[in-house]
Structure 1
């Protein structure tokens, strides 16, 4: 008797699983407009941003961690090149082979980071890129640091960890993100964004049962991002974080 493919799959579960597993293990395709090993401009959900895909993106089937970077107030506008002046997108522009998918959106003039928009953007990215949903993390500086705290408080299941730099959140809300580890940075001479509220957020998160650290740079003003993003332990820490049981 000759069996068709559907009958074969139904009558041989082991073979069916092997075939389906083989299909699932195929390396992902690079979406149109992007390129592995390059930082390219892209747009989703009405938001413009830079996307870096690792050079091996289309060569392996394993899903990639995602790092979302939020810039500060000075990089708002319509010139996407401004987003590359600090932090991870600058490092990639200078030749760093970032070992994760890096997404760096841009705010319009006068706007603040909105957790709702970031949540929608994350969903759109997961639907289109080969992202490990348990390894989505975020970092941001100044206004972007504040945005990271707000995002994690509003949608604590979105992010496995955050690394805010010279930015703080609402101390009354941080208990909601007790399962989101934090690695913060701040200069003790910052006249633009005071240190004390950042310390208060970290202490409140610890009191709520969360894990949080804050590196304070003596004699450093608002530019805590230069030493922070040169911290050799920051990126390995971010990429080591995973959501568990939530």
Structure 2
């Protein structure tokens, strides 16, 4: 009887330990961002395996002090779906009210996660929607050596910094009837990178308003494309 009980206990606790889950995390430094962290259940199963990381930046509507709101859209919503597993670590920071993304604070979280877990430094990806889409363009342009690819949604970048992204795999998304962030922001950002010699992809959703993120993050092709990208060697000519 004792053996049966112990076997059952081992099964239950082992199964619970193996379940992947997303959990809220405190800031890694004073004044930093809270964030949601998703780690695959089998992260520890193979000591030689290095995991890709996807960083997700939310939009203006989720700003505040409630880190659960980060899970309303995008990657942190996707990884919460029951019965699904995902072959990446997901990092989803929370932006306080009335603030815009600070790349130093974002970088501190990413550095911490990369030290804490077995991550692949050549497979770090950046995506975001609306204000987070703009943040993805801008952070990648400020630190192109950090990322293997970006997927901005419903937001454009700083056109003056576009040439920093000429070697970056980019897939941008926008609704053609967006009355919050004009679709021309994404058109202009993509064309500016192309003018520098880059080859970004662009998807424009017909008859779609600001919510370009639901079809984007529900599309399995996005993850197949992202996870196939690897960080390019530094380009000394980037500006």
Q: Which category of TM-score, normalised to the shorter sequence, fits these structures?
A: 0.7 to 0.9
- Aligned partner (choices 132, 136, 143) of residue 120 of structure 2: 132
Q: How many residues align?
A: 213
Provide, for residues 168-223 of structure 1, a one-character-per-residue CA deviation record: whole Å limited to 9, x for no partner.
10111110122211101100000000011210110111121222011000110001
- Aligned partner (choices 168, 189, 207) of residue 177 of structure 2: 189
Equivalent residue, structure 1, for 2:24: 41
Q: Could you tell me whether the CA contact under 8 Å between 1:36 and 1:53 is conserved in 2?
A: no
Residues 103-114 of structure 1 correspond to what in structure 2 (within 5 A)? 103-114=91-102
Q: Which has the larger radius of gyration?
A: 1
Provide, for residues 85-118 of structure 1, a one-character-per-residue CA deviation record: whole Å limited to 9, x for no partner.
1011111112231210001110001111122222
Residues 79-158 of structure 1 correspond to what in structure 2 (within 5 A)? 79-95=66-82, 96-158=84-146
Q: CA deviation at 1:35?
A: 7.9
Q: Could you tell me whether the CA contact under 8 Å between 1:142 and 1:165 is conserved in 2?
A: yes
Equivalent residue, structure 2, for 1:57: 43
Provide, for residues 62-100 of structure 1, a one-character-per-residue CA deviation record: whole Å limited to 9, x for no partner.
110000010000001111111111011111112231210
Partners of 1:221 and 1:213 in 2: CA distance: 20
Partners of 1:89 and 1:122 in 2: CA distance: 16
Q: CA deviation at 1:36?
A: 5.8
Equivalent residue, structure 1, for 2:154: 166
Q: Any idea what SS the aligned residue of 2:96 has?
A: coil
Q: Any idea what SS the aligned residue of 2:146 has?
A: coil
Partners of 1:212 and 1:64 in 2: CA distance: 25
RMSD: 1.4
- Taking a change above 3 Å as real, the CA distance of residues 168 and 38 of structure 1, as seen in their structure-2 partners, is same
Q: CA deviation at 1:121?
A: 2.2
Partners of 2:45 and 2:126 in 1: CA distance: 25
TM-score by length of 2: 0.86
The gaps in structure 2 that reach 5 residues or longer are 1-16, 235-239
Deviates more, 1:141-150 or 1:223-232: 223-232
Q: Any idea what SS the aligned residue of 1:139 has?
A: strand
Partners of 1:35 and 1:108 in 2: CA distance: 33
Partners of 1:35 and 1:194 in 2: CA distance: 44
The gaps in structure 1 that reach 5 residues or longer are 1-33
Structure possessing the higher relative contact order (Cα contacts under 8 Å, 6 or more residues apart): 2
Say whether 1:223 aligns with 2:211: yes
Q: Could you tell me whether the CA contact under 8 Å between 2:93 and 2:106 is conserved in 1?
A: no
Q: Any idea what SS the aligned residue of 1:151 has?
A: helix
Q: Which runs of 4+ in 1 moved over 6 A?
A: none
